[in-house]
């Protein structure tokens, strides 16, 4: 087991190393002068001496090999560079944004997976009935809606018209709170973006769970469970749901990695201060160092998510245990 573990971790470390290397070379392969990326359109007004000083400042006058070593060293020490647009170290910006993104995407992933599994199992168990058809139609509907549109409808209805929930931000910026009111305020701000994200994420889990459960219900061991005289609930949960969960768990694990990249569209619609919105702002403001750092975080966390999936999957599927 420990040898298997070491092997797996080594494999994934190699993948991460390659990712970092590509992330280093990609912007350097782009056509044009790096000064445009670093100084923006102001570059036209700079003197040669100023240009040289900027390049030196960023270490871009050094040979490529040395730049690469410095880049690796910076990443290991948590230095992702400096945001040209926000005039702040990128590591600090990410430290600010990450908790909000994890709060939003993490709770959305948990909720949508849980609800998708419950509804998917219920629909499959009542295959062909009105309940099944109603659930299927409902989730197909949400599946075909663009996420920003669902978000805007919720904003218009519950935010602007009914005024039940705030429509932007993650907390009241103008009013420092503490204790319970502080958490209540955060939850209050979370409701609309979270609902939107859950609504558009349930359908995929629902579909997979329903299909998987339908397959399992046709298996011989379900018939055997009935022949043994087991009660309906035991057959449903211990046999059907337990086995139908396997593909859902795989999908869940893979999505874990994507949690860190945030939900760009939803965060933008609700002006939620997460990593997704940071990326949107970086694109609009041509803040290349921030984009580069974001790409790095996304790829590394997706790879780590896969590693986690590899390590945890044996817990649910005895067939892949060693």
Partner 1 sequence: MSLLQVKGLTTSFHTKEGTVKAVEKVSFSLEKGEMLGLIGESGCGKSTLGLSLLRLIEEPGEIAAGEVTINGVDVIKLNPEAMRKVRWNTISLIPQSAMSALNPTAPIGKQILEAIELHKPRIKRDDAVKKVKELLEWVGIDGGRWLHYPHEFSGGMKQRVAIAMALACDPEIVISDESTTGLDVLTQAQVIHLIKRLQKELGLSIIVISHDLAMVTAICDRIAVMYAGHLVEIGPTRKILDNPLHPYTQGLLASNICLDSSGTCSSIPGSVPRLIDAPPGCHFHPRCERGKDICKASLPPLKSLAAADHQVACFAYKEGF
Binding site for partner 1 (CB under 8 A): 219-221, 223-231, 234, 238-239, 242-243, 246, 316-319
Between 182 and 221, name the residue whose CB sits nearer to partner 1.
221
Q: Mind spelling out the 3-state secondary structure of 173-195? A: CCCCCCCHHHHHHHHHHHHHHHH
The residues, ordered by sequence, that sit 6+ positions from 216 with a Cβ below 8 Å of its Cβ are 222, 239, 240, 243, 244
Between 269 and 309, name the residue whose CB sits nearer to partner 1.
309
The residues, ordered by sequence, that sit 6+ positions from 11 with a Cβ below 8 Å of its Cβ are none
Asked if residue 275 lies in contact with residue 290, where contact means CB atoms within 8 angstroms, the answer is no
Min CB(240)–partner 1 separation in Å: 10
Min CB(235)–partner 1 separation in Å: 10
Token readout for 308 is 């986690």
Between 28 and 242, name the residue whose CB sits nearer to partner 1.
242
Q: Say how far apart CA 313 and CA 317 lie, in whole Å.
A: 6
Min CB(72)–partner 1 separation in Å: 44
Which phi and psi (to 5°) does residue 55 adopt? -60, -40
Between 190 and 244, name the residue whose CB sits nearer to partner 1.
244
Between 241 and 282, name the residue whose CB sits nearer to partner 1.
241
Min CB(222)–partner 1 separation in Å: 9
Min CB(253)–partner 1 separation in Å: 17
Between 64 and 234, name the residue whose CB sits nearer to partner 1.
234
Min CB(225)–partner 1 separation in Å: 7
Between 241 and 293, name the residue whose CB sits nearer to partner 1.
241
The residues, ordered by sequence, that sit 6+ positions from 261 with a Cβ below 8 Å of its Cβ are 275, 276, 279, 294, 297, 298, 301, 302
Min CB(140)–partner 1 separation in Å: 25
Closest listed residue to residue 205, CA positions, set 123, 119, 147: 119
- Tell me, what DSSP letter sits at residue 319? G
Min CB(237)–partner 1 separation in Å: 12
Q: Say how far apart CA 12 and CA 89 lie, in whole Å.
A: 28
Asked if residue 190 lies in contact with residue 103, where contact means CB atoms within 8 angstroms, the answer is yes
Between 244 and 282, name the residue whose CB sits nearer to partner 1.
244
Token readout for 260 is 């860190």
Q: Say how far apart CA 132 and CA 123 lie, in whole Å.
A: 4
């Amino acid at each position: 087991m420990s040898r298997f573990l070491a092997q797996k971790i080594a494999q994934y470390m190699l993948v991460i190393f390659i990712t970092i290397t590509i992330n280093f070379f990609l912007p350097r392969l782009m056509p044009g002068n790096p000064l445009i990326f670093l100084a923006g359109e102001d570059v036209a007004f700079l003197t040669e001496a100023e240009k040289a000083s900027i390049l030196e400042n960023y270490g871009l006058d050094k040979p490529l090999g040395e730049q690469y070593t410095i880049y690796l060293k910076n990443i290991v020490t948590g230095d992702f560079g400096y945001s040209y647009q926000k005039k702040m170290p990128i590591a600090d910006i990410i430290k600010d944004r990450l908790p909000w993104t994890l709060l939003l995407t993490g709770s959305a992933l948990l909720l949508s997976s849980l609800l998708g599994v419950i509804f998917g199992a219920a629909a499959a168990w009542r295959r062909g009935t009105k309940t099944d058809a109603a659930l299927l139609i409902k989730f197909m509907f949400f599946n075909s809606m663009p996420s920003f549109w669902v978000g805007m409808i919720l904003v218009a209805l519950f935010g602007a018209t009914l005024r039940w929930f705030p429509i932007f931000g993650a907390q009241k910026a103008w009013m420092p709170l503490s204790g319970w009111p502080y958490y209540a305020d955060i939850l209050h701000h979370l409701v609309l973006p979270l609902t939107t994200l859950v609504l558009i994420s349930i359908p995929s889990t629902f579909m997979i769970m329903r299909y998987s459960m339908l397959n399992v219900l046709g298996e011989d061991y379900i018939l055997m469970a009935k022949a043994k005289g087991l009660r309906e609930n035991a057959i449903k949960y211990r046999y059907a749901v337990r086995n139908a969960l396997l593909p859902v768990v795989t999908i869940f694990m893979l999505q874990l990695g994507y949690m860190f990249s945030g939900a760009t569209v939803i965060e933008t619609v609700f002006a939620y201060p997460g990593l997704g919105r940071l990326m949107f702002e970086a694109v609009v403001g041509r803040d290349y160092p921030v984009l580069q750092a974001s790409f790095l975080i996304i790829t590394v966390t997706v790879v780590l998510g896969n590693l986690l999936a590899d390590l945890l999957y044996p817990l649910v599927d005895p067939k892949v245990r060693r």
